[in-house]
Each structure stands twice: as C-alpha cells, then as structure tokens.
C-alpha cells in the first residue's frame, strides 16, 4: 500500500512538473542508448583517427575499414574494448539528452501553447535545445572522445578533466567546441524539423494506435539519416582537433590538413557507424520519450 502511494505521489509530481518529467524521460532513454550503442562511437572515433587508417587505395570509409577497426580491437584487446569510454559517455549523454528534451518541452509549453510551430521554429528550438546541453557538458565530450580513441588513458573522468585543465588550460576543456556546434546545431535543428514535419504527415489515428512506437521510430530513423549526411564533416573536424590539440591551431588548419592528406572523402570518414549510431539513438530516445511522456 505504501509503495502504491509513493508511485501515485511521484506520478502527480511529474504531472505538475512536466519539464522534470521530460528531463527524466530523456535521461533514461539516453542511458539506454549510451550503453547499447557505445561500440558504434568507438569505431567512428577510430575511423576518424589517422593512426587507424586502413592501408587501402580508397580514401573513404567503407565496410573494409570498419572490419579493419573491429579486427584490430578484438586482436589487440578484448570485446570489452568496444565499450571503452562508456563511463564518460554516460556522464555526457544522460544529462545531455535530459537537458535536450527538457529544453524542447519548456519552449513548446511556453511559446506554442495554442499552435504548432512551423518548420523554421522547429529548427530554432532544436538548435537552442542542443546548444544548451553541448555548452554545459563540453569538458565531458573532450574526455569521452580521447578515451574512445585508445590514445589516452586516464584514471577517472575527474582526473582527466583535472589533467587536461592543468596541461592545456580552459581551452583544452573546450577544444573542438566550434566544429561540434557547427555539427550539432544544424543537426539538431534539421532533425527536429524533419521529425516534427514527418509526424504531422501521419494521421492522428495512427499516432494514437498500437503502431505509435513503430511510427515514431520510423520518423526518428529517417530524420536522423538525412541530418547525419548534411552535418558529418564538422564531426570529423571536431574529432581531429580533440585528438591532436597541438597539431591544429584552429578550425581552418584542420580543414586544410584533412583536405591535403585525405581529400574530399576525408570529411566523411566514420560516416557509416555515426549514421547507424545516430539512427539507433534517435529511435530509442524518441520512442522511449514519446511513450513515457
């Protein structure tokens, strides 16, 4: 009886504070996706690292490159190596997704009470929501990228932040923030616009039916694929700048270096695992969020 009262009180509290509910729903979905999809992030990061470049005549990231990374990981270490960096990824992703959904819910409930936002307004909401989380959690993103690369080894996340601050200063903890925002702001804006517009094309009877989760998942996956194609080059730039902080003085030097050494397709290294991970993350996050909220 006491447990039922506690559950009832929690439900009432979350109903009265929808932003808290959105944060918790987003955080829960972020935790699931971070743990289950970490191998995609590890593979993507190493594909974008020149030290793991596959000796091939092709300069783009194809299936052979992914197999090469996988075989290296399994040959040199253990299958657990695919989940390296999970702890900083959780610390980055769980609150990050929570902040994202909380921000979206706040903007929708305050500015769009009596109407649906148009495509441009959806883009703006997606950009603001993502930018808020990215800016707050940038130091954890730097640690996450370095651990996933296999080039850096830190005793703990706290020690990593302390070490980076000591050796590189505040700039080291925000390294790569410009290309990351160049990637995430348009990605989130485009994604949320595509997702919202695709949902509006579906009859409401279907959205309220037993197929709702399937429909939300399909909308999320297609929106993620389109957005990933458009925004992948900044992801490559972000990774290079975070892995080689002393080699690149700024964004332009990274752009020139990649073009000179890897050609045009260098800007799309790691696209396949990123696109797959992004799609799965979107499906999990939005399906869970829509179901809980």
Q: Which pLDDT tens digit goes with each residue over 29-47?
A: 999 988 998 888 888 888 7
Q: Give the pair of three-digit tokens for residue 70.
A: 């996988």
C-alpha angle 153-85-278 in degrees, rounded to nearest 5: 145
d(CA 126, CA 123): 5
pLDDT digits (tens, 9 = 90+) for 58-116: 444 454 477 877 887 777 667 888 888 888 889 889 999 999 999 999 999 899 988 88
For residue 202, give the DSSP letter.
Answer: S
d(CA 92, CA 144): 8
- Tell me the pLDDT band of 221, cut-offs 50, 70 and 90: very high
Question: Greater confidence, 191 or 242?
Answer: 191
Asked whether the beta carbons of 93 and 31 are under 8 A apart, the reply is yes
The interaxial angle of helices 38-47 and 86-111, nearest 10 deg, is 110
- pLDDT for residue 142 is more than 60: yes
- Tell me the pLDDT band of 155, cut-offs 50, 70 and 90: confident
Domain that holds residue 285: 19-292
Asked whether the beta carbons of 271 and 232 are under 8 A apart, the reply is yes
- Helix/strand/coil percentages in the chain, nearest 5: 80, 0, 20
* 20-24, 46-50, 78-82: the lowest-pLDDT one: 46-50
Answering whether pTM is above 0.85, one says no
For residue 210, give the DSSP letter.
Answer: T
Count structural domains, the chain: 1
Residue 262 is predicted with a pLDDT of 85
Residue 6 is predicted with a pLDDT of 61
Does residue 13 lie within any of the structural domains? no
d(CA 66, CA 68): 5
Does residue 7 lie within any of the structural domains? no
Query: Three-state DSSP class for 57?
Result: coil
Dihedral sign (CA 169, 91, 194, 66):
positive
Find, among 35, 44, 48, 34, the residue nearest to 70 by Cα: 44
- Tell me the pLDDT band of 57, cut-offs 50, 70 and 90: very low
Phi, psi of 247 (to 5 degrees): -90, -30
Does residue 191 lie within any of the structural domains? yes
Asked whether the beta carbons of 258 and 240 are under 8 A apart, the reply is yes
CATH number of the domain to which 272 belongs? 1.50.40.10
Does residue 165 lie within any of the structural domains? yes
Find, among 143, 181, 190, the residue nearest to 162 by Cα: 143
Does residue 6 lie within any of the structural domains? no
Residue 60 is predicted with a pLDDT of 46
Find, among 157, 154, 149, the residue nearest to 81 by Cα: 149
Asked whether the beta carbons of 284 and 33 are under 8 A apart, the reply is yes
Does residue 82 lie within any of the structural domains? yes
For the residues 207-229, what does the mean pLDDT come to?
Answer: 91
């Amino acid at each position: 009886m006491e447990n039922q009262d506690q559950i009832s009180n929690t439900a009432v509290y979350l109903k009265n504070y929808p932003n808290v509910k959105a944060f918790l729903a987003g955080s829960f979905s972020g935790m699931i996706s971070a743990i289950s999809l970490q191998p995609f992030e590890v593979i993507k990061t190493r594909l974008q690292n020149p030290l793991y470049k596959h000796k091939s005549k092709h300069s783009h990231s194809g299936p052979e490159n992914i197999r090469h990374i996988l075989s290296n990981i399994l040959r040199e270490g253990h299958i657990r190596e695919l989940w390296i960096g999970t702890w900083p990824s959780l610390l980055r992703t769980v609150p990050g997704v929570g902040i994202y959904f909380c921000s979206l819910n706040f903007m929708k409930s305050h500015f769009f009470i009596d109407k649906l936002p148009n495509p441009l307004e959806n883009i703006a909401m997606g950009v603001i929501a993502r930018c808020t989380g990215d800016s707050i959690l940038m130091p954890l993103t730097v640690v996450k990228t370095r651990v996933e690369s296999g080039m850096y080894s830190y005793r703990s996340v706290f020690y990593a932040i302390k070490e980076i601050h000591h050796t590189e200063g505040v700039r080291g903890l925000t390294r790569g923030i410009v290309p990351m925002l160049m990637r995430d702001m348009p990605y989130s804006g485009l994604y949320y616009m595509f997702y919202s517009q695709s949902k509006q094309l579906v009859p409401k009877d279907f959205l309220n039916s037993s197929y709702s989760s399937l429909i939300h998942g399909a909308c999320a996956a297609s929106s993620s694929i389109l957005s990933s194609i458009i925004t992948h080059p900044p992801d490559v730039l972000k990774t290079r700048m975070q892995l080689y902080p002393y080699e690149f003085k700024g964004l332009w030097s990274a752009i020139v270096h990649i073009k000179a050494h890897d050609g045009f397709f260098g800007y799309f290294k790691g696209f396949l695992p990123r696109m797959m991970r992004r799609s799965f993350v979107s499906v999990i996050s939005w399906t869970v969020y829509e179901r809980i909220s």
